[in-house]
Amino acid sequence: MTKKRRTRQERLRRRVHYFLDAGGSDRISILVHRGLILLVLLSVSAAVLESEATLATKYGPWFYGFEVFAAAIFTIEYLLRLWSAPDHTPYAHMTTAAACWAFARTPLAVIDLACILPVYLAMFLPADLRVLLLLRLLRFFKLARYSPGMRSLVAALEAEKSALAATSVVLLGLVLLTASAMHLVEHEAQPDKFGSIPDAMWWAVVTLTTVGYGDVVPVTPLGRVVAGFTMLAGLMMIALPIGIVSKAFADEIHRREFVVTWGMLARVPLFATLSAAEIAEVMEYLHAQTAAPGTMIVRRGEAASNMYFIASGLVEVEGAHGPIRLGEGQFFGEIGLLQHARRNANVRSIEATKLLVLDARDLRALMERNEDIARHIESVAQSRS
């Protein structure tokens, strides 16, 4: 392969990776992501509806045709993701083959593969493959790729897998302990239900999970004592993993917000010369805000409580001297705070805009701690007033 051709191929591969995985914000990337999300939802809905016998009989060929179409698109998607794996940041240091193999072993890639297997299995196996419906429904989990919330939850579970595994071990121990105790005290009164420890384990699982079907219950006084202990232990066991996961999820959301805010802050020229420690210090005062196109961010005459830094996007200031447009790296709203006055202009977003917001008290604290920032903000405010 010539060097020119190899360069062109690498450029195309990076482009494919950008469209599929890099979270691009251009129109083509958005259309690709929305199209795949729609196809996932439609294919899952089709799989669910096909389980209805009357619909399967009436529209069987349509269901099959759509399934083949969806499988073809998902196959192309899977192959493109596999091909562009070397452009994923975690695999950038690997060879092409190693990067593809590393990507193929990730949970989402395994789900991608499992989602397309039913159609190809149906081509070679003559049996009724409706039992593979579960594999088709796995496509629903492909949505995790497009949902920051689901990705955060998966990351939280990954971070706390050791703690959750320890909780599972404790739960299994409690099942064995309570089942053994119940077998010991109830096996003579109810040999059909507690005649062995495996028989009693069904009751232990149902009771520890607080489901309580009521199909197996103790009848002896000592058995009821064991049951009471088991119920209380079940309540504690439910609270333990919930607390672990909720804490990890909150930490993951906080980390994600920290990274996003750091990236936005780094794009503002006013803070470009700050060190990493100083940026982290400034971040304590700021919080991120997004504004859709046409959103009124500031209204003339209202009390001034915040100033805004534009991390990306475009806003229009409707001042006394005509409209002024401000873009990435600029800021507004500082005059009202410095002069303790009401807003003297309307500010509206022209396009999707990401802002960093600083309230009045934090502005004063920031200006006191950094004289360069204070001088710059005051000079801009004087030129605008």
Domains and CATH numbers, the chain: 3-146 (1.20.120.350), 161-254 (1.10.287.70), 273-384 (2.60.120.10)
- Token pair for 172: 């299994």
pLDDT at 203: 92
In the structure, how many helices (H) and strands (E) does the chain have? 15, 8
Strand 296-298, strand 346-349: pairing: antiparallel
What is the phi/psi pair of residue 344, to 5°? -110, 10
pLDDT at 259: 62
- Cβ-count burial of 320 within 10 angstroms (0-12 exposed, 13-18 middle, 19+ buried)? exposed
Which residue(s) pair with 306 in the sheet? Answer: 359
Continuous segment of H or E residues that includes residue 287: strand 287-291
Tens digit of pLDDT per residue, the chain (385 long)? 566 666 777 788 888 877 777 555 567 777 888 888 898 889 889 888 888 889 888 888 898 888 889 889 999 999 988 888 888 777 777 888 888 898 888 888 888 888 888 777 777 766 555 556 667 777 888 877 777 667 777 777 888 888 888 888 999 999 999 999 999 999 888 988 898 999 899 999 999 888 888 888 888 999 899 999 999 988 888 888 888 888 888 877 767 666 666 666 666 666 666 666 667 767 777 777 888 888 888 888 888 888 888 888 889 988 767 788 888 878 888 877 777 778 888 899 998 888 888 887 777 777 777 777 777 777 776 776 6
Which single residue is written with the structure tokens 């607390």?
243
CB 286 within 8 Å of CB 357: yes
Distances (CA, A) of 307 to 150, 212, 303: 33, 56, 12
pLDDT at 180: 93
- Cα(121)–Cα(118) distance, rounded to whole angstroms? 5
- Cα(229)–Cα(213) distance, rounded to whole angstroms? 17
From 254, 266, 261, 255, select the one nearest 287 (Cα to Cα): 261
| CA angle at 68 for the pair 63 and 74, rounded to the nearest 5° | 120
pLDDT at 178: 92
pLDDT at 154: 76
Cβ contacts of 331 within 8 Å, gap of 6 or more: 268, 270, 307, 308, 309, 310, 377, 380
In one letter, which amino acid is 357? V
